[in-house]
Chain A
Amino acid sequence: MMLALIENAFLSLVGSAIPASTVVVLAALGCLVGERVGVLNLGQEGLIGIGAVYAVISVLSWQVESPWLALLIGMIAAAVAGVLFAIAVVVFRANQVLVGLALALGGVGLSNQLGTNRNGTPIQTQFTEVNPGGVLDDGGILEAFFFHDPIVYISYLLLPAVLWFGLFRTRHGMNMRAVGENPAAADAVGVSVTWSRIAYTVLGAALSGAGGAYMVLSFTPTWSPDIARGRGWVALAVVIFAAWRPFRVVAGALLYGSMISLGATAQARGWGFVFDAADLSFVLSMLPFLVTLVAILLPAGAATIGRRVRSTAAPAALAIPYSREER
Chain B
Amino acid sequence: MTAYRLERRLDLDARSSALGRIAGAVLALVVAGILLLLTGRNPFQILADALDAIFGSQRGLEGVALRAIPILMTGLAVALSLRMKVWNIGSDGQFLMGAFAAVGVGIHLDGPGWIVLILMAGAGAVAGALWILVPALARAYWDVNEIITTLLLNFVALQIVAWASLGFWRDEGAAVIQSTERVPYTLPAIPGTDSLTIALLVPFVLTGVLFWLFRSTTIGFEIDTIGGNPRAAAFAGINVRRRILIVMLFTGAIAGLGGMLQLSAPGAQQLGPGFSAQFGLSGFIVAALAGGAMLGVLFGGFFIASMFFAGLVLQTKGLSVFIILGIYGIILTGVALGEVAARYRLVRDELEPGSEPTVKPTPEPTAEGAPA
Contact = CB atoms under 8 A, between A and B. Distances in A.
Interface string A193-236: 00000000000000000000000000000000000001001101
Interface string B198-241: 00000000000000000000000000000000000000000000
A62 B144 CA distance: 45
A300 B141 CA distance: 10
A258 interface: no
Given A282-B159, A289-B152, A296-B144, A109 B332 contact: no
Contacts of B141: 304
Given A92-B340, A293-B149, A101 B89 contact: yes
A94 interface: yes
A233 B167 contact: no
A108 B369 contact: no
Contact of B148 (A107, A113, A233): A233
B340 A102 contact: no
Nearest to B333: A102
Which applies to chain B's interface (DSSP): helix, strand, loop or mixed?
helix
A137 B284 CA distance: 52
Interface stretch (B116-124, B183-191, B262-270, B321-329): B321-329
A97 B147 contact: yes
B339 interface: yes
B8 interface: yes
Contacts of B163: 279, 282-283
A113 B326 contact: yes
B89 A304 contact: no
Interface in A285-315: 285-286, 289-290, 292-293, 296-297, 300-301, 303-304, 314
Contacts of A107: 329, 371-372
B160 A98 contact: no
Interface string B130-173: 00001000100111110111011101100110110011100000
B134 A297 contact: yes
Contact of A286 (B89, B149, B159, B325): B159
Interface in B1-24: 8
A279 B169 CA distance: 12
B330 interface: yes
Interface stretch (A82-90, A127-135, A145-153, A173-181): A82-90
A106 B337 contact: no
Contacts of B155: 230, 233, 286, 289
Which applies to chain A's interface (DSSP): helix, strand, loop or mixed?
helix
B261 interface: no
B349 interface: no
B370 to A, nearest CB: 7
Contacts of B322: 108-110, 112-113, 116
B119 to A, nearest CB: 26
Interface in B304-323: 320, 322-323
A300 B369 contact: no
A98 B288 contact: yes
A285 B163 CA distance: 10
B77 to A, nearest CB: 15
A106 B159 contact: no
A26 interface: no
Contacts of B159: 282, 285-286
Given A84-B371, A279-B167, A286-B156, A94 B333 contact: yes
A151 to B, nearest CB: 25
A97 B87 contact: yes
A237 B323 CA distance: 28
A43 B142 CA distance: 25
A95 B325 contact: no
A106 B330 contact: yes
Contacts of B151: 233
27 contacts: A84-B370, A85-B371, A88-B336, A88-B337, A88-B369, A94-B340, A95-B336, A98-B335, A99-B336, A99-B369, A102-B332, A102-B333, A102-B336, A106-B325, A106-B328, A108-B322, A109-B325, A109-B326, A113-B320, A237-B148, A237-B149, A279-B163, A279-B168, A282-B159, A289-B153, A290-B152, A293-B153
Leading 4 A-B pairs by shortest Cβ distance: A106-B329, A109-B325, A109-B326, A102-B332
Interface of B: 8, 87, 89, 134, 138, 141-145, 147-149, 151-153, 155-156, 159-160, 162-163, 166-168, 281, 284, 288, 320, 322-333, 335-337, 339-340, 365, 368-372
